[in-house]
Amino acid sequence: MQIFPRSLNRLPAIVAVVVALAGGLVTSLVWYYFSPLNTQVGYQPRQPVPYSHLLHAGQMGMDCRYCHANIERAAHAMIPPTQTCMNCHALVRTTSARLAPVRESWDSGRAIEWVKVHRLPDHAYFDHSVHLSAGVGCVECHGRVDQMDVVRQVQPLSMSWCLDCHRNPGPRIRPLDQITNMDPSLSGTAQPPRAINPPTTCSGCHR
């Protein structure tokens, strides 16, 4: 006498298919959320003006704060206004075709629509001034921009990446007078200028 219906003979095959699909889905999700596709590593948008950090910050040695003047005082890094560009380019390369958008912006009063490279989600709070005043240099998050003709994102800026630094900030601390120096060997060469206790709880960055 047969206790189970014949239709149950297909159950192992159905279970195998479901397990395979579930495994594939989990693998795809993990692959996506921990890959550069999601963390934006390598993101390198085309800008309206072909500005070269390699030339300005690298070869010419311009300090980050000349263009991003408020990074030590404000939560957000300032995108330089056209006036900053024209401080030099009113006299330098005044007929360059590459700088035509800058001259047009200056004449019209309309801001250049720069494309933001390092973008955090709206639910994450980040303050540039706090990190710089603690001795964390620009290179820690932005990489060697002085060697980039076109700026790209080199760090994942993910929650786990931030927490790694918050739990052990020492190797990222450098002298305050070297925060805009792109030499990575300066990291970890100084004590914090004050007692720091980076938050590792949710409320520290999600306010």
Q: What does the radius of gyration of the chain's CA atoms come to, in whole angstroms?
A: 25
Strand partners, 104: none
The model's pTM: 0.80
Average pLDDT, the chain: 91
148 falls in which pLDDT band (50, 70, 90)? very high
**Is the pLDDT score of 37 beyond 70?**
no
Give the pLDDT score at 13. Answer: 83
Least confident of 29-38, 109-118, 160-169, 184-193: 29-38
Confirm if 162 and 205 have CB atoms less than 8 A apart.
yes
Name the one residue in this structure whose structure tokens are 């938050």. Answer: 199
Which tokens is 28 given? 């795809």
The predicted model gives 22-47 an average pLDDT of 80
**Is the pLDDT score of 95 beyond 90?**
yes
Q: Report how far residue 123's alpha carbon sits from residue 154's, in angstroms, rounded to the nearest whole number.
A: 21
Give the pLDDT score at 24. Answer: 87
Strand partners, 136: 173
